[in-house]
Structure 1
Amino acid sequence: MPLAHRYALYLAPTGPWRELGSRWLGRCADTGDALEPLPGQAAESAHWTRAPRHYGLHATLKPPFRLSPGNSPADVDAAARRLASQDDPFSVQLECEPLRGFLAWRIADADKQGRLRIQALADAAVRGLDTLRAPSTPDETARRQPHALTPAQRAMLERWGYPYVFDTYTFHITLTGKLAGDELEQAREGIAAFADPLRGQAMPVMGVSVYVQAEPGADFVAARHYHFDGSHTDAAGAGYLDGPAAP
């Protein structure tokens, strides 16, 4: 586990969601390399996807954090191993929907079991890694625009350093930055062109992943993927991402 400016515990999409979503964003989260766009992908998508491209294709479990004094990358590794050892593979049904002004793959309304499993995993991640998190600086808190948050979200920001955890958490795999009007509809149509064939298929959830930001302003890249069976894979050889479907 490398020494980095910030760490995050994410869910790395698997199977065709990983391949197609990464190409839509234009960057591989494992290598940091730029990717060829999808056939027919609009040139405007480079602008639509600039914000999520910085973080790499993912769903947030434990939001990015700096290490508190006395903690090390080895502690992040150990915490991720513990978390992964406490769960089993499962799957979720996804659909593209707007969320707070951007487009994302979210858990389908009908998939109540998937939503419960994801919520439990995210809750455990927030609690399990919080002792490693340095307190937010005033600048970091201000960037979350607390004046625009609900009272519940402000309470989460103050306690956990992020406004969207526990009762305010919504699982999502971000596919665009904030858009409105025609741009939002154009982006939705662009996503539908490659994602609609995936409707009805379940995306396997095989484990959790640590992503790192080497220095302030750098793009996030995956460092290590932790399987629910107790094994792990460094990101450069993340073969599990294309493994068999979960039960």
Structure 2
Amino acid sequence: MTRYAVYAVPGLLGESDDPIAAGLRSTVEAWYARPEFHDLTVDARRYGFHATLKAPFRLAGGRTEADLRAAADAFAASHHCVLLPALRPANLGRFRALLPHGDDSAIRMLADEAVRSFDVFRAELDDADIRRRRPETLSARERVLFEQWGYPYVFEEFRFHLTLTDPIPPARESEIDSAIAAHFAKDGHGCDVLLRSIALFIEREPGAPFEVLSAHPLATPSADADLQETA
């Protein structure tokens, strides 16, 4: 069964639009490609370089892919580009990810609005969806959010992150942390990055890699100037 997701992907529009974001994306993709760590980037590579705004979902009855793309166009056109402050590798539980360090209120607001706006396209959770999320491992609040919105890490539980690894065994933490620090020493370490678009991703069948379906530019060029004045 096909699933869709709404993701934030810095650098998706290309180097001509933003060489810093495009360079960061290239650096992360080079990290995923390192064969010595393939056993710890299986899911990271399958989902691709992204941060979740609206988690993967099946289309609700009566909704089409064309409807979803039109909604993504409208959503993006009504929201400005978002500054992601000081992105750098950090721990996220047993995962490693690029996290913003600074005021992340703008990206949190964008994510909150994406969760609400795109929920009309989400089919109700089925048994497979519920089993995949392992609700018995969730807190009481996460369980409520999962049942209402199809994903437990939304609103106050949301934390913007660009995933670099799958869960890391404790015995390999030092090795992986050193490798990540060296890999991102020049690019993608402490950069302010402008998110210029949202993207629709598609999983064409269960277990297939997520692919970029379409990119939807945020705001108008004037938003860049506004962000620079307030940065």
Query: TM bucket by the smaller chain?
Result: 0.7 to 0.9
Unaligned runs of 5+ in 2: 12-21, 222-226
Say whether 1:18 aligns with 2:25.
Answer: yes
Contact 1:81 1:230 in 2 (8 A): no
Contact 1:84 1:230 in 2 (8 A): no
Say whether 1:105 aligns with 2:94.
Answer: no
Match of 2:87 in 1: 94
Question: Pick from 127, 130, 138: which aligns with 2:119?
Answer: 130
How far apart, in 1, do the equivalents of 2:111 and 2:168 lie?
Answer: 26
Identity %: 33
- The CA deviation string for residues 134-175 of structure 1, in whole angstroms up to 9 with x for no partner, is 011122112211111111100111101111111111111010
Over 3 Å off, 4+ runs: none
What's the CA shift for 1:74? 1.0
How far apart, in 1, do the equivalents of 2:39 and 2:57 lie?
Answer: 26
How far apart, in 1, do the equivalents of 2:79 and 2:152 lie?
Answer: 25
Match of 1:235 in 2: none
Change (3 A) 1:83 1:134: same
Unaligned runs of 5+ in 1: 27-36, 38-42, 232-245
Say whether 1:170 aligns with 2:159.
Answer: yes
Contact 1:8 1:212 in 2 (8 A): yes
Match of 2:71 in 1: 79
RMSD over equivalenced CA pairs, Å: 2.0
How far apart, in 2, do the equivalents of 1:62 and 1:230 lie?
Answer: 23
Match of 1:57 in 2: 49
What's the CA shift for 1:201? 2.1
Contact 2:78 2:219 in 1 (8 A): no
How far apart, in 2, do the equivalents of 1:120 and 1:171 lie?
Answer: 11
What's the CA shift for 1:186? 1.5
Number of residue-to-residue matches in the alignment: 213
- The CA deviation string for residues 224-247 of structure 1, in whole angstroms up to 9 with x for no partner, is 11111479xxxxxxxxxxxxxx73
What's the CA shift for 1:44? 2.9
Contact 1:5 1:216 in 2 (8 A): yes
Match of 1:239 in 2: none
Match of 1:215 in 2: 205
What's the CA shift for 1:55? 0.5
Match of 1:203 in 2: 193
**Which letter maps to 1:19?**
S
TM-score by length of 1: 0.81
How far apart, in 1, do the equivalents of 2:52 and 2:190 lie?
Answer: 23
Match of 1:194 in 2: 183
TM-score by length of 2: 0.86
Counterparts of 1:224-243 in structure 2, within 5 Å, are: 224-229=214-219
Where 2:184 maps in the other structure, the secondary structure is helix
**Which letter maps to 1:23?**
A
**Which letter maps to 2:68?**
V
Say whether 1:8 aligns with 2:15.
Answer: no
